[in-house]
Amino acid sequence: MLKTLREYIKEAEEKKIAIGHFNISNIEAFHGIYNAAQKLNVPVIIGVSEGEEEFVGRDEISAIIKEVRERDNYPIFLNADHHYSFESVKDALLAGYDAAIIDAVKLPLEENILLTKKCVEYAKELGGKEGRDILIEAELGFIGQSSKLLEEIPEGVSEKTMTTQDDAKYFVEQTGIDLIAPSVGNIHGMVKGGNPKLDIKRIKKIREACGVPLVLHGGSGISDQDFQDAIDAGISIVHINTEIRVAYKEALEKYLKENPNEIAPYKILKPAVDAIEKVVEQRLKLFNKIK
Ligand SMILES: [Zn+2]
């Protein structure tokens, strides 16, 4: 019998490792990620943002994850990454997602708290009805918005927008969220000249103050040492998206250039699946402390 996602997160925290969370827009990326996870035999979370979800299909991806988890008795979970309204969180949870991130960072704090709390209450109610343990996560502090290649650190991200331990504690108490994604020097996307360094001390303080596991968003472009230190300091889930997108695009471009007459999608896209698998395998090794 598989454990719940909450139990895997708790186990990760005890072992001082982190669970990898990887985003997909299509089934090819799912295969690359799942191949890598299975090779290492570690739990894994598939994430879809609102845009990714619309493209891959909300019910379709949920059905695939559920089917594969049951067929292989494998700890693979599905997360609604950065959903911006109660309705979109609700739709994802109704479709069978294991977790959701309500992102109301742009709202004034009190409105953010109300909306987040509404999602937490709905997840509890639905989970109770369906016998599922559904997790709700929220982000606190600004870390930029898109998973792309950036010329520089996004505007509005600075030490001032980093999460404080007091803010995190207050937010968790007020909302009852299961997981929190703080701003600790991380950013969404990858900066061409290199990503900023993480504030490891801040991670430790936030984890101690807020009492729930921490999720590191914007993992692409962070150095191996920073990842290790962040995980040791209290990060239990790491999000990677941009690196996968880059690997996919580069492999696809290379193949098309070298094979201009090939038209079979399963041949054209195979190198992209392999490239994603490679990136994910390296990241999972690091997060799970596998040599
Ligand atoms: Zn994020």
Query: What's the CATH number where 185 sits?
Result: 3.20.20.70
Lowest mean pLDDT among 24-33, 87-96, 101-110, 266-275: 101-110
Contacts of 14 (CB under 8 A, 6+ apart): none
Taking only the tens place, the pLDDT of each residue in 126-182 is 999 999 999 999 999 877 767 777 776 666 666 777 899 999 999 999 999 999 999
Average pLDDT score over the chain: 94
Task: Measure Cα distances from 279 to 68, 182, 246 in Å.
Answer: 22, 24, 10
Whole-number pLDDT of residue 219: 82
Helix (H, G, I), strand (E, B) or coil at 164: coil
Is residue 262 within 8 A of residue 238, CB to CB? The reply is no
How many angstroms separate the alpha carbon of residue 222 from the centre of ligand 1? Answer: 14
Is residue 288 within 8 A of residue 45, CB to CB? The reply is no
As a whole-number percent, the residues of the chain with pLDDT over 90 amount to: 85
How many angstroms separate the alpha carbon of residue 124 from the centre of ligand 1? Answer: 23
State how many domains the chain has: 1
Burial of residue 258 (CB within 10 Å: 0-12, 13-18, 19+) is exposed
Q: Residues whose CB is under 5 A from ligand 1 (ion)?
A: 217
- Give, as one character, the DSSP assignment of residue 98: S
- Give, as one character, the DSSP assignment of residue 88: H
How many angstroms separate the alpha carbon of residue 82 from the centre of ligand 1? Answer: 6
So which residues are the catalytic ones? 81
How many angstroms separate the alpha carbon of residue 255 from the centre of ligand 1? Answer: 30
CA distance 75 to 150: 33
Taking only the tens place, the pLDDT of each residue in 192-236 is 777 778 999 999 999 999 999 999 998 888 899 999 999 999 999
The pair of structure tokens assigned to 33 is 């990620």
Find how far residue 221's CA is from the centre of its chain. 15
Taking only the tens place, the pLDDT of each residue in 37-65 is 999 999 999 999 999 999 999 999 999 99
pLDDT band at 191 (very low <50, low <70, confident <90, very high): confident
Which residue range(s) make up the domain with 101?
5-287
